[in-house]
Amino acid sequence: MPSAEEYNIDLENRQTQVNEWAYNNKMDTLFVFQILFISLLFVTILLVLKGQGLVGAGFVWYSMFVVLLLDVIIIVNRSVYTNTRRDSRFWSRKHFSDDNNKASPLARGDSSYQAYIDSVRGAYSAPESKCNCPKPAKNC
């Protein structure tokens, strides 16, 4: 049974995670609203220009369709990503389909991995200097 202090620390950590997730979710929502506002502003400018006869109706309808399509793609992409890939506990983490499902290629007690690590460390270690001079000489 955890002590009251450990319980409070765990509770505080979880509340921090919840606050971070809620904050980032609000920022994501704000991003979508900004995209929609910019699109609405662009369409309004196009409609004003069409009303003054500076651009044709075909161009305005085509542009509105492209903007609407981009908005739908962005909103669906953000929604699907949040619902399927984003971790429900940590906002910045992503789930992959093969997470924790594959067995290790090494058997229990296999020393080949440590031998590999040692060989890599040996290959990248700095060569020892043969000169003990405080200042490098030409012949060292």
Is residue 41 scored above 90 in pLDDT? yes
Task: Give the pLDDT of residue 70.
Answer: 96
Give CA separation, 42 vs 39, 61, 67, in Å. 5, 12, 9
Per-residue pLDDT, averaged over 8-32, amounts to 90
pTM exceeds cut of 0.75: no
pLDDT tier at 115, thresholds 50, 70, 90: confident
- 66 near 34, Cβ under 8 Å? no
Residue 130: pLDDT band by 50, 70, 90 thresholds?
Answer: low
Domain residue extents for the chain: 4-85
